[in-house]
Amino acid sequence: MSKKKLPIIDPEKIHFLNIQLNKGSIDASDSFIAKPLKPARINFTFRHIFHFQFNEKRCLVRLQVHFFGLDNAGKPVGLSATYHLDFLLLLENLEDYLTGKEPDIRVSKILGATLLGLCISTARGIILERTFGTPFQGIILPVVDPVKLLTPSDREMLWGADESDKRGES
């Protein structure tokens, strides 16, 4: 079986149409409020969902970021936060990254990882701004490999699952 060559991503053909913060909350326990302690470390969890509108060449990426503060021993300090953001993107050349026909259309893994990386990078600035003046004193999301964040349900939708996908070649 021959492999379809993965297209190179053209970032100038990806456009943010809307960015919406649906939820942003910081929770401090009573014990933290009584004795605030700047976290020595912060743990992060990312969750996401892709919703493609193939006919309109759009993708909605729903991103959830949860983080909580830890002390030097790695124990929670009673400080956590959650942010839910929606990113609506227009992909001028979406068809270049698709294989199959309705209802079995699959999207290139490299495009999925690229979109997720763009949304996490954008969320990084939003969350940093939103957490200034809070007990977190400004949170900078870590740089992550979006390919590693792709989930099993993503893999059902995405094609091109080998290591060469990261380089845009097969």
Tens digits of per-residue pLDDT, 99-109?
A: 888 878 889 98
Question: Does the residue 5 lie in any domain?
Answer: no
Are 95 and 106 contacting, i.e. CB atoms less than 8 angstroms apart? no
Question: Does the residue 1 lie in any domain?
Answer: no
* Percent of the chain's residues with pLDDT above 90: 71
Longest dimension (CA), the chain: 64
Q: What confidence tens digit (pLDDT) does each residue in 21-35 have? A: 999 999 999 999 999
Domain hosting 24: range is 11-160
**Domain total in the chain:** 1
Whether pLDDT at 161 is above 80: no
**Which region holds residue 167: left if phi is over 0, alpha if psi is between -120 and 50, else beta?**
alpha
Number of neighbours of residue 99 by Cβ within 10 angstroms? 13
Question: Does the residue 2 lie in any domain?
Answer: no
User: Chain-wide mean pLDDT for the chain?
Assistant: 88
Residue 155 structure tokens = 């893999």
Q: What confidence tens digit (pLDDT) does each residue in 43-93 have? A: 999 999 999 999 999 999 999 999 999 999 999 999 999 999 999 999 999
CATH classification of the domain holding 79: 3.10.420.10
| pTM, rounded to two decimals | 0.86
Look-up of token digits 């021993």: 73
Are 88 and 58 contacting, i.e. CB atoms less than 8 angstroms apart? yes
- Rounded Cα distance between 85 and 65, Å, is 9
Question: Does the residue 102 lie in any domain?
Answer: yes
- Rounded Cα distance between 90 and 78, Å, is 40
